[in-house]
Amino acid sequence: MKKKLLILLSCLIVLSLVLSACSGGGSQQPAEGAQSQEEAGEKVFKVGINNFGQANFFARIGKAALEDQIKKNGGEVIATVNADVPGRVASIENMVAQGVDAIIIQEGDITQLAPALKEAKSKGIIIGSMDAGDADFVDVFVESDNEQLGRMAAEEMVRLIGEKGNIVEIYNDAGSMIRTRRKAMHEVIEDYPDIKIIAGFVYAWPDFFPDGKAKMEAVIQANPNPGDISAVYATFDGVGVAAAQAIREAGLQDHIVVVGIDGDPEAYAEMRKDDSPFKATLAQDPDTMARTCVDKVFELLKGNEIPERHIYIPGNLITKDNIPED
């Protein structure tokens, strides 16, 4: 009888130990380094980005770098692309409805989105601008120095044509940066009375290439003789490449020079051709611009101050002599 009682008692002790282990008793320690989300936890910031299009390398690299850097900062991305103001406004309103902590606008003209962004700002949302212009509701604005880019491109054009000749300008004032570059060119040529703007046209967006090439062909038809046109000032490289093709096909590549702005790999490929009229571009750095903008936005989201709210990323003059390798 005593033996049966001892066996029964032993079984009860074993059962008790098993139940204690299964219920997470005090002797069960958590795995080393394990934390609950609450204990670990920094807030996961939700950041919306709105891009003006994906038609050129600057837009594509900028959008990809914005998304990547937001994720590297531990954030959640809501990415949208709209080439028209109503679409951009609708995207911003949708971001606000989804509870974003910040919104970054890439390219275009941020002032056209003012009502929607001011409403977002009133809800405590941080507003960033990447090459989209500045406004009183913008918390951080990162861009190339577009006045400098426009001026340097114009100065190189003036040098290439020997400070005299007729030029064609290609632009689209929907972009704040384009307006700045164009204005800088006009200011430069004011000092050269033998330089005249004889024609200009607005390129379409996002279908700039076929549109720009067709319009350049029309300008050439109206000015077909060598010397009628000395230079083309393209406010961004894509339309510069389109103009260069039209010039080459007209057999005027030895009489007309093209200068652009961006540092687009397609412009570099065009410039490498022996018979290319595309002679120079001012290279931007959209990757650095995007990552800088994101990092500054996250500093503000964390409650930190930033030394400057308007940050310039330098550009570089590229000619046939210093084209970057592929």
Domain ranges of the chain: 44-144+286-313, 146-283
**Pairing label, strands 102-106, 140-143:** unpaired
Determine the average pLDDT of the residues in 305-318.
96
Q: HSE on the CB side for 258, CA within 13 Å?
A: 29
pLDDT-derived band at 325 (thresholds 50, 70, 90) equals confident
**Residue carrying structure tokens 């934390």:** 35
Condensed to tens digits (0 to 9), the pLDDT of residues 259-305 reads 999 999 999 999 999 999 999 999 999 999 999 999 999 999 999 99
Model's pTM, two decimal places?
Answer: 0.82
- CB under 8 Å to 167, separation ≥6 — which residues? 157, 161, 189, 195, 196, 197, 198, 229, 230, 231, 232, 233
Q: Tell me the CATH class for 44-144+286-313.
A: alpha beta
H helix or E strand, kind and range, residue 314? none
What is the edge-to-edge ordering of all strands in the sheet holding 310-312?
Answer: 76-81, 46-51, 102-106, 126-130, 140-143, 310-312
Condensed to tens digits (0 to 9), the pLDDT of residues 40-97 reads 567 999 999 999 999 889 999 999 999 999 999 999 999 999 999 999 999 999 999 9
H helix or E strand, kind and range, residue 195? strand 195-202
Task: Tell which residue, 211, 195, 275, 206, has the closest CA to residue 243.
Answer: 211
Q: Answer with the residue of higher pLDDT: 42 or 230.
A: 230
- What is the Cα–Cα distance from 69 to 292, expressed in whole angstroms? 9
Condensed to tens digits (0 to 9), the pLDDT of residues 213-229 reads 999 999 999 999 999 99
Is 146-283 the same fold as 44-144+286-313?
Answer: yes
Question: Token pair of 317, please?
Answer: 């003059």
Backbone angles phi, psi at 291, to 5 degrees: -70, -35
Whether residue 8 has pLDDT greater than 50: no
Residue 179 contacts residue 112 (beta carbons within 8 Å)? no
Q: HSE on the CB side for 186, CA within 13 Å?
A: 11
pLDDT at site 42: 77
Neighbours of 173 (CB within 10 A): 11
Q: Looking at domain 146-283, which CATH architecture does it have? A: 3-Layer(aba) Sandwich (3.40)
Question: Token pair of 207, please?
Answer: 């279908």
- CB under 8 Å to 271, separation ≥6 — which residues? 278, 279, 281, 318, 319, 320, 323
**Pairing label, strands 140-143, 126-130:** parallel
Backbone angles phi, psi at 279, to 5 degrees: -105, -25
Question: Token pair of 282, please?
Answer: 């001012």
Q: HSE on the CB side for 113, CA within 13 Å?
A: 37
- What is the Cα–Cα distance from 267 to 280, expressed in whole angstroms? 9
Residue 79 contacts residue 63 (beta carbons within 8 Å)? yes
Neighbours of 253 (CB within 10 A): 18
